Amino acid sequence: MKRYDSLRWILLAAGVIAILGLTSMNVYSLYELHESTIQVDRQPKKLQVAEFADKVRYRFFKPFWGLSSTNMERLKSRFSQDNQFTTAIHKRVKQAATDSIFKDIYFIPSSLDGCGQGESILKYDPEKEKLVWNDSYPAAVCDGMGIARTQMKALVKDYKYNNKVIFDTNRSVTLAFIDPSEHTIFGYLTMPLDQEYLKNDFLPSALNKHFGKSQQAGVNVWLRDWTNDNIIASSDPGVPYDHDKIQFKQRFPDFFDNWKLEVSFTNTPTIEASNSSLLKNLIVLGAAVLLLLGSLVFMFMSAQKERALAERQAGFLANVTHELKTPLAVMQAAGENLSDGRVKDQTRLKNYGTHIYNEAVRLRRMIEKLLDVAKADAGQSLIEPQPVNLDQLVQSYIDEQKSYIKSRGFALDVAIENDIPKAMVDIDSFETILGNLVENALKYSNEERYLGVSLEADDDNITLKVEDHGVGMPKKVISHIFDKFYRAEDTLTAQTKGHGLGLSIVKSLVELNGGSIRVSSEVGKGSIFTVTFPTLVNSPVEESQASAVDSSAMRSPSLTP
Ligand code: ADP
């Protein structure tokens, strides 16, 4: 049996690990499923945000759509005549001049070196509907043109188209006219952006129009200037910006480099449903795991308990067989010696008689204990509760055992209250209970020999206490003493004879008689066993039954041989 012990523990550990492993795999898959539901739900919204960025970008190209079909030769020759555009280009510039995004429109032919204070460049005059020379313009014009010139220098050698749009962040847009056949730049049309209109009008309304209220859209989008850390516009102005809740960011590549679209997703019905199904699954899984682990551990522990009980039972049987045989052998030998008539000496005859008597008493006590076990095991069927005066039972027990207890050097302290009410208890059971508790108190005491027996009552209960100042017990032992066949592996216990049955019998009998038992004990100081029975609520029938009980009829539990 013992050699399977570690195997059993290994199997239990393997079972627990398997359950936990399976559970974590399940939890992981549930989370993955939940995550992918969220991703599937959010993917279209991410695309919508990217689409918005593109839409805004193309909005700046709008006035110049179709420019690629323009004949550069014609443009160059027209411009060389009177510094004006061809009709086709003029039409687009005129259209751009009415667009609120652009503040003004300037043209700097590439033949012109300078752009800056005092230098004249061309500006489109919407009233005159032509380009006119101008020498007072904002610095942003030259900055935009400068950026475009630097970029085009690197590009122009391999560039195949006749125009390119270049952004100076949110300040200006420059359209470079290119002659791809000659790989030269004709000039730069620079349009400073109307910042106020962009920030206060164009972007807020574009955002709002594209996404709408967050509840329907499933997203909140903020346009944030991350260089200055301020919010320029948002899709739903009712929802405040919270940096910690941002889940996705979209840049405006190549045109608004210092602005970003920052997005937080709101839960849609699909995500809500997935959330609640995840929660339900986790609860069910958790409960199932607890149940599985609980039953596994419970089954393991009860198997361990039963195994320990079986081991103790086997030990008990071996013991009992031995203890039944020993007195029989002594009696047999003494009887033989007496029966063949060879022993004549009075003293020896008396000795043989005493041997036979003592061994018979030992045998009787053994058999009585076995009967008690049988009785406790049989349960209610062998119990005959009746209204009894427990004070009389305790008193007559003490009267019988007093001299024996004292002869063993014990100080006896008996305190029985007056007017103890009756209790509904089986007399035999009570004797066994009291007898076993006193027997233990005597057995498990060594230096300080003290036995206290008290009986007291309140309105509801009658309480019997058996106290000793003996070896006491640690907590670990206390939790087992009422188990069948349990004996503490203490040196004194090992020296004392016993089978670990007394207290299990006591507990069963106390409970069969409707009472309860508890123990308080301290190692080296002693123990107090407290047994409580409910008082009998007197009724005429119970009274008459009670008077029929003669307490002197009780079998006094014998401590003495
Ligand atoms: P047994 O006395 O035959 O061993 P019991 O069931 O009566 O069996 O007691 C079980 C164990 O409880 C004892 O072996 C002993 O270790 C402990 N025990 C019982 N009563 C006392 C007591 N009064 N003081 C200390 N230990 C006790």
Best of 487, 490, 495, 527 for a ligand 1 pocket test (most atoms within 8 Å of beta carbon): 487
Q: Among the atoms of ligand 1, which is closest to the Cα of residue 505?
A: 6
In the predicted model, is pLDDT for residue 2 greater than 70? no
Best of 437, 440, 466, 479 for a ligand 1 pocket test (most atoms within 8 Å of beta carbon): 440
Q: At what angle do helices 502-512 and 346-378 cross, to 10 degrees?
A: 50
Query: Which residues line ligand 1 at a C-beta cut-off of 6 Å?
Result: 436, 440-441, 444, 468, 470-473, 481, 486-488, 490, 493, 498-504, 527
What spacing in Å lies between the alpha carbon of 440 and ligand 1's midpoint?
A: 6
Residue scoring higher pLDDT (426 or 380): 426
- DSSP 8-state class, residue 212: -
Q: Among the atoms of ligand 1, which is closest to the Cα of residue 488?
A: 16
Q: Among the atoms of ligand 1, which is closest to the Cα of residue 504?
A: 6
Q: Among the atoms of ligand 1, which is closest to the Cα of residue 497?
A: 3
pTM over 0.85: no
Residue nearest to atom 20 of ligand 1 (CA): 440
Block residue for tokens 């027209």: 78
pLDDT tens-digit series, residues 300-355: 999 888 887 787 777 667 666 776 777 788 888 888 888 888 778 888 888 888 88
In the predicted model, is pLDDT for residue 31 greater than 50? yes
What spacing in Å lies between the alpha carbon of 323 and ligand 1's midpoint?
A: 19
Best of 451, 473, 497, 509 for a ligand 1 pocket test (most atoms within 8 Å of beta carbon): 473
The predicted pLDDT at position 544 comes to 43
The predicted pLDDT at position 558 comes to 52
Distances (CA, A) of 70 to 61, 122, 166, 178, 324: 15, 21, 19, 11, 125
What spacing in Å lies between the alpha carbon of 368 and ligand 1's midpoint?
A: 18
What spacing in Å lies between the alpha carbon of 503 and ligand 1's midpoint?
A: 7
Q: Among the atoms of ligand 1, which is closest to the Cα of residue 529?
A: 23
Host H or E run for residue 475: helix 475-478
Cα separation, 534 vs 513, in Å, equals 9
The predicted pLDDT at position 552 comes to 40
Q: Taking all residues of the chain, what is their mean pLDDT, rounded to a whole number? A: 87
Residue nearest to atom 12 of ligand 1 (CA): 481
Block residue for tokens 């009552």: 457
Q: Among the atoms of ligand 1, which is closest to the Cα of residue 471?
A: 25
Distances (CA, A) of 395 to 236, 363, 417: 90, 27, 11
pLDDT tens-digit series, residues 467-502: 999 999 999 999 999 988 888 866 556 677 777 888
pLDDT tens-digit series, residues 435-460: 999 999 999 998 899 999 999 999 89
Q: Among the atoms of ligand 1, which is closest to the Cα of residue 503?
A: 6
pLDDT tens-digit series, residues 540-559: 334 444 444 444 434 444 55
The predicted pLDDT at position 555 comes to 44
Q: With contact defined as beta carbons under 8 Å apart, do 276 and 30 qualify?
A: no
pLDDT tens-digit series, residues 171-183: 899 999 999 888 9
What spacing in Å lies between the alpha carbon of 481 and ligand 1's midpoint?
A: 6
Confidence of residue 538 (pLDDT cuts 50, 70, 90): very low
In the predicted model, is pLDDT for residue 148 greater than 50? yes
pLDDT exceeding 70 applies to what percent of the chain?
A: 92
Residue nearest to atom 23 of ligand 1 (CA): 441
What spacing in Å lies between the alpha carbon of 250 and ligand 1's midpoint?
A: 78
What spacing in Å lies between the alpha carbon of 527 and ligand 1's midpoint?
A: 10
What spacing in Å lies between the alpha carbon of 356 and ligand 1's midpoint?
A: 29
pLDDT tens-digit series, residues 383-429: 788 999 999 999 999 999 999 999 999 999 999 999 999 999 999 88
Q: Which long-range contacts (CB under 8 A, 24 or more apart) does 393-398 make?
A: 393/427, 393/430, 393/431, 393/434, 393/551, 393/554, 394/434, 394/453, 394/455, 394/464, 396/551, 396/552, 396/554, 396/556, 397/431, 397/434, 397/435, 397/438, 397/556, 397/557, 398/453
The predicted pLDDT at position 542 comes to 45
